[in-house]
């Protein structure tokens, strides 16, 4: 029998090695059904539980699936006699019974279940030492084309049996780009987006991969691993868009008609078509062999081309690859006659036009395809009415449709109008179009103003743009409603800025003078405006415009008080964030149109960083500036006129703050959970990140890292990973189980450089299942068991004393109260 002290120490050891001790989690207890969980691989003689002996029982008996692995002492001590292996057996069903002195069962047997918990003691292994597979070029990225598989005898429900796949080598690796990827949980290999685009069997018909598998989910440096080779053959992709298709319109052949075909790389694909433009009717179909059909005759004039997609899907309706674009062009036939532009086409010609002069152009239309023989049109005059003074007065260009005078100038007194019948034809059809030619009077009369001076006109300078300020009138004696009698008004003097314009009434030839641009009293208070009235048609030779075609008026613009005007909508300045208080950082300027003085002020200076000189508009720093708080500081600048109506205007001032290196580097986050498993089996490492609040260049920070104390160089090492990350590594494995605060010096390398020292806490602790395990210990301020018992007994003693004192006092008071009460009963008269 072990001494009691030795037994307790073994109980504590067992508590540490196992994870559960029955429903109450005690070291010992009565005989009852219980379940224990024990890690595999422990040394023999590990104690599991102490069953208590209750008379008349004097010993215990162990039966069931003991397998010479478990033993129980007569005093109830249950323990291991050889290591457990979960991969051999994960559960043991035992029975424990209590025996009396004669060996008879007096209690039980009760079931005892031993659950063997897994440790990572098995290496993952690939099912094959070499895998082979093939993939089509342009296959969909992420769609698996093969799998690799590995097994691990450890418990798959724990991290020990969770496998992590990874491609570690790809040959060839062109431009350092990975064309293949693997699902790290399933081992499914597929193409990356780059691989889908770049794989070409003509360039590289095969690739070699090395795939590794790790247990522990690939998360720790203590995981086991295995590797295998994978040979991938690249085959040509036959899923390609067909050549564009041409279909003759209005075909009379029986439909549907096969026009092209698409084909997926493997049999069993399900094909469908998808419209790109969603036409009212979709005249195409596809069968499950990939044959594409047109289902009805097409009309080019209705739609001259179609674009749609062919899709290939698997049996679950998922796309096998990208859709193919199919182009169909509808080929034209000559099935449309020429069409006249209108019922009657009207031209005008002056009576003095020269021979060969162009009169106008007849433009007919043909719905057939442009720039083909089907739409080439020819023009021919077939009739002229009246034939006065002769037939054939006009001719038309055969292909352009341009009409010209053919034989002589026309006279309106002969006839005011000619009607022509014109034949327009393509290679199969003919159409007759009507053309009317009106003979108009020649422009031998000039416009004449009804009066030459329209006097003075006074308007304020803020008159709205578009306002009509004056109506003028001229007349023309030429034939009404022709280019010879139409009048256009033009300002020839007095309006160099184009502030005024004149619009003509097409029915009355009245001219409406309107404001086109803002007027300005300060620029032009009085303007002498001169108009000219003229015709759009040129005057005949020998006739000239004279003074009768000119008129004038005087425009007087009155002053209106206006707000100051800033020289810019937004004023911008740039300054370093460390400028001294009182430094000039910018200036604004504004002027009052009436010449009044202007005073400046700021609005929206929420941080109180700026001051402005009210007279000059110069802006100064009034407090320390900080780019990290606000990189572009935006305020409003107000300019107010002095005197007058005190009108004001507002502009923006944007101050861009240029960075100064005034913030030392620091840790990017609070690192409180960094740990290494104790004891170390090999030097360990941890990764941390740094940041800097200052402005960073496009390539990012370029920090340097070092230990904050030279005395730590024997224990620790800091190595840079990139500009923001570094690795803290141990130089040996002889560390205590406690927390180490490691000072790290970080330099930002700027001009001038700034350096910060941070503390990185690293905990060395016992690990269970890859996590830091900290056994419960006595905490400061929490009493021990002995202290708790002493405090409890003292409390009971005080309560007893208080109760005794109260009881004695109550007894004395009761005796005193009884004596007066008896005397009172003898002398007090009775009440009736």
Give the model's pLDDT for residue 816: 47
Q: Is the pLDDT of residue 77 over 70?
A: yes
Q: Is 194 helix (H, G, I), strand (E, B) or coil?
A: helix
Q: What are phi and psi of 467, to 5 degrees?
A: -70, 135
Give the 3-state secondary structure of 542-599.
Answer: CCCCCHHHEEEEEEEEECCCCCCEECCCEEEEEEECCCCCCCEEEECCEECCCCCCEE
Give the model's pLDDT for residue 786: 54
Q: Is the pLDDT of residue 515 over 60?
A: yes
Q: Is 320 helix (H, G, I), strand (E, B) or coil?
A: coil
What are the residues whose beta carbons fall under 8 Å from the beta carbon of 101, sequence distance 6 or more? 56, 58
Exposed, middle or buried by CB within 10 Å (0-12, 13-18, 19+), for 620?
middle
Q: Is the pLDDT of residue 828 over 80?
A: no
Of 123-132, 350-359, 368-377, 679-688, which gets the smallest average pLDDT? 350-359
pLDDT confidence bin for 150, thresholds 50/70/90:
very high
Cβ–Cβ < 8 Å for 257, 157:
no
Whether the upstream peptide bond of residue 172 has omega within 30° of 0, thus cis, is: yes
Q: Is the pLDDT of residue 819 over 70?
A: no
Give the model's pLDDT for residue 789: 57
Rounded to an integer, the average pLDDT of 724-737 is 91
Rounded to an integer, the average pLDDT of 269-274 is 92
Q: Is the pLDDT of residue 20 over 70?
A: no
Structural domains in the chain, sorted by start: 28-117 (2.60.40.60), 125-235 (2.60.40.60), 245-331 (2.60.40.60), 344-440 (2.60.40.60), 447-558 (2.60.40.60), 565-658 (2.60.40.60), 666-772 (2.60.40.60)
User: Cα(341)–Cα(779) distance, rounded to whole angstroms?
Assistant: 103
Q: Which residue has the higher pLDDT, 589 or 701?
A: 589
Angle at 225 between CA 223 and CA 226, to 5 degrees: 175
pLDDT confidence bin for 659, thresholds 50/70/90:
confident
pLDDT tens-digit map of 199-246: 999 999 999 999 999 998 887 777 899 999 999 999 988 888 999 999
Q: Is the pLDDT of residue 135 over 50?
A: yes
Q: Is the pLDDT of residue 781 over 50?
A: no
User: Cα(187)–Cα(613) distance, rounded to whole angstroms?
Assistant: 73
pLDDT tens-digit map of 191-205: 999 999 899 999 999
Query: What token pair was written down for 832?
Result: 């009736």
Strand runs labelled E in 53-99: 59-64, 70-72, 77-80, 91-99
User: Cα(739)–Cα(675) distance, rounded to whole angstroms?
Assistant: 9
Give the model's pLDDT for residue 646: 81
Cβ–Cβ < 8 Å for 590, 651:
yes
pLDDT confidence bin for 802, thresholds 50/70/90:
confident
pLDDT confidence bin for 787, thresholds 50/70/90:
low
Q: Is 418 helix (H, G, I), strand (E, B) or coil?
A: strand
User: Cα(683)–Cα(143) distance, rounded to whole angstroms?
Assistant: 40
């Amino acid at each position: 029998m072990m001494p009691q002290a030795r037994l307790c120490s073994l109980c504590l050891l067992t508590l540490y090695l196992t994870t559960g001790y029955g429903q109450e989690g005690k070291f010992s207890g009565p005989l009852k059904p219980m379940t224990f969980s024990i890690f595999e691989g422990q040394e023999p003689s590990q104690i599991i539980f102490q069953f208590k002996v209750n008379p008349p029982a004097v010993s215990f008996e162990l039966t069931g699936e003991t397998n010479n692995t478990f033993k129980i002492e007569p005093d109830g001590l249950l323990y291991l006699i050889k290591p457990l292996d979960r991969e051999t057996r994960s559960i043991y069903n035992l029975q424990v019974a209590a025996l009396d002195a004669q060996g008879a069962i007096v209690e039980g047997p009760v079931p005892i279940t031993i659950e063997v918990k897994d440790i990572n003691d098995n290496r993952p292994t690939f099912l094959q030492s070499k895998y082979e597979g093939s993939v089509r070029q342009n296959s969909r990225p992420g769609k698996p084309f093969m799998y690799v598989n590995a097994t691990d005898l450890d418990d798959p429900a724990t991290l020990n049996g969770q496998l992590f796949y990874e491609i570690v080598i790809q040959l060839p690796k062109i431009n350092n780009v990975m064309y293949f990827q693997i699902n790290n949980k399933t081992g499914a290999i597929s193409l990356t987006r780059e691989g889908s685009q770049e794989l070409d069997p003509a360039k590289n018909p095969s690739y070699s991969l090395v795939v590794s598998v790790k247990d522990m989910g690939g998360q720790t440096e203590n995981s086991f691993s295995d590797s295998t080779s994978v040979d991938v053959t690249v085959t040509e992709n036959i899923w390609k868009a067909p050549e564009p298709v041409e279909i003759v319109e209005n075909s009379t052949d029986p439909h549907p008609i096969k026009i092209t075909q698409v084909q997926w790389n493997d049999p069993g694909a399900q094909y469908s078509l998808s419209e790109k433009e969603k036409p009212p009717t979709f005249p195409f179909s596809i069968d499950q062999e990939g044959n594409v059909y047109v289902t009805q005759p097409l009309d080019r004039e209705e739609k001259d081309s179609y674009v749609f997609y062919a899709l290939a899907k698997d049996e679950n309706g998922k796309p096998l690859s990208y859709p193919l674009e199919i182009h169909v062009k509808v080929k034209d036939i000559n099935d449309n006659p020429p069409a006249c532009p209108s019922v009657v086409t009207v031209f005008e010609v002056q009576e003095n036009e020269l021979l060969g002069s162009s009169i106008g152009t007849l433009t007919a239309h043909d719905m057939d395809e442009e720039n083909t023989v089907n739409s080439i049109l020819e023009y021919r005059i077939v009739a002229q009415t009246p034939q006065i003074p002769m037939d054939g007065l006009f001719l038309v260009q055969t292909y352009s449709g341009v009409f010209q005078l053919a034989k002589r100038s026309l006279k309106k007194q002969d006839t005011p109008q000619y009607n022509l019948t014109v034949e327009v034809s393509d290679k199969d059809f003919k159409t007759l179009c009507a053309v009317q030619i009106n003979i108009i009077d020649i422009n031998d009369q000039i416009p004449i103003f009804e009066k030459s001076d329209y006097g003075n006109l006074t308007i304020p300078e803020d008159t709205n743009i578009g306002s009509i300020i004056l109506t003028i009138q001229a007349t023309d004696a030429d034939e009404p409603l022709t280019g010879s009698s139409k009048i256009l008004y033009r300002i020839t003097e007095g309006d160099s800025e184009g502030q005024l314009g004149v619009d003509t009434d097409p029915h009355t030839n009245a001219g409406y003078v309107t404001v086109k641009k803002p007027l300005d009293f300060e620029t032009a208070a009085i303007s002498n405006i001169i108009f000219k009235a003229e015709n759009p048609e040129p005057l005949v030779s020998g006739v000239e415009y004279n003074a009768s075609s000119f008129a004038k008026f005087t425009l007087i613009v009155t002053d209106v008080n206006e707000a100051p005007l800033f020289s810019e909508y937004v004023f911008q300045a740039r300054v370093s964030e460390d400028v001294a208080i009182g430094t000039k950082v910018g200036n604004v300027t504004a002027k009052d149109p009436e010449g009044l003085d202007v005073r400046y002020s700021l609005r929206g200076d929420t941080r109180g960083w700026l001051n402005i000189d009210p007279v000059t508009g110069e802006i100064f720093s009034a407090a320390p500036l900080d780019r990290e708080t606000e990189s572009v500081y935006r305020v409003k600048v107000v300019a107010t006129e002095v005197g007058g109506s005190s009108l004001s205007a507002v502009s923006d001032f944007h101050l861009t703050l240029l960075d100064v290196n005034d913030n030392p580097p620091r840790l990017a986050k609070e690192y409180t959970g960094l740990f290494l498993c104790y004891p170390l089996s090999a030097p360990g490492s941890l990764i941390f990140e740094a940041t800097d609040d200052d402005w960073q260049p496009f390539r990012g920070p370029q920090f340097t890292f070092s230990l904050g104390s030279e005395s730590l160089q024997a224990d620790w090492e800091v190595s840079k990973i990139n500009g923001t990350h570094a690795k803290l590594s141990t130089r040996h494995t002889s560390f205590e189980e406690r927390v180490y605060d490691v000072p790290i010096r970080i330099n930002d390398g700027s001009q001038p450089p700034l350096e910060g020292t941070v503390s990185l806490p690293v905990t060395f602790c016992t690990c269970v299942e890859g996590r830091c395990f900290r056994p419960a210990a006595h905490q400061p301020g929490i009493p021990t068991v002995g202290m708790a018992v002493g405090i409890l007994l003292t409390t009971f003693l005080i309560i007893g004393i208080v109760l005794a004192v109260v009881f004695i006092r109550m007894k004395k008071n009761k005796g005193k109260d009884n004596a007066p009460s008896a005397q009172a009963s003898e002398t007090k008269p009775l009440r009736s």
